Amino acid sequence: MSKKLILGVDVGASGIKGALVNINTGEMVTDRFRVPTPSPATPKNMAKAFSQIVEHFDYQGPVGCGFPAIIKKNVAKSASNIDKSWIGVNISEVFGKAADCNVYVTNDADAAGVAEMNFGLGKNKKGIVVLITIGTGLGSAMFFDGKLIPNTEFGHFYLKNQSKVAEAFAADSVRKKKDLSWEEFGKRFNEYLETLERITSPNLIILGGGSSKKFDLFKKKIKIETEVVPAQLRNEAGIIGAAAYGFQQAKKMVTS
């Protein structure tokens, strides 16, 4: 198969990051380029940041984009860590118009999960695998025999004895805000995983996002029965998965 390079963009609450990805091997072939997420993170402001990334790579072609919301047919159906005015907006249209390209959008954690399942630790893993991204929020991707069940939003269930949703208790932004030690954070995260385990009965839990790099600092506190491992692709999974998604969708458009 010839080497196919696709631009993958990972939109996050604090930064919008892009890189060119070889979708045959799942490798990033450029450094990642990051633009801070504008404040307020409105469609207009974010479209500008998005087009800066496309311009930086002087890229023409389909773009795959991971976005931190429930996504149905490229439309945002929620907005927890971005401006509420995104709800109901067709992201492909807004970003595509600004950057003059075709943009295919999927949930950011789903994108990271797809990358990890195809090119990382999830490869050939059967049964239920759940990937949790730990960042400003908690993102989730769930797979059964390698197939994605999209938009699971496991950062948004309530924990026993807590009056807040899980991501308001155990995301990395909470650790920073409350200045929690890694041990304290690990304890909270274990509480989160206990509920996740009860709800999903997974065979494997993979941790992605920025804090997965620090897994060694809190793994002692993780006491659930299910195997929990940090992602192999670390923080790059979001970009790689977005590119893979963009490629798949663009191919569908050509063949259908």
Q: Is 180 exposed, middle or buried (0-12, 13-18, 19+ CB in 10 A)?
A: middle
Nearer to ligand BGC, 70 or 129 (CB): 70
Contacts to ligand BGC from residues 221-250, by CB under 6 A = none
Q: Going residue by residue from 121 to 150, which x/- string records binding to ligand BGC, judged by CB under 6 A?
A: ------------x-x-x-x-----------
CB of 233 to ligand BGC, least distance (A): 16
Which stretches of 60-162 are DSSP H helices?
A: 91-99, 108-119
Q: Which stretch binds ligand BGC (CB under 6 A): 18-26, 39-47, 75-83, 123-131?
A: 75-83
Residue 230's SS3 state is strand
Decide: is 68 part of the binding site for ligand BGC (CB under 6 A): yes
CB 106 within 8 A of CB 67: yes
CB 7 within 8 A of CB 17: no
Q: Going residue by residue from 161 to 200, which x/- string records binding to ligand BGC, judged by CB under 6 A?
A: ------x---------------------------------
Residues lying near ligand BGC in the complex (CB under 6 A) are found at: 68-70, 78, 80-81, 107-109, 133, 135, 137, 139, 153, 155, 167
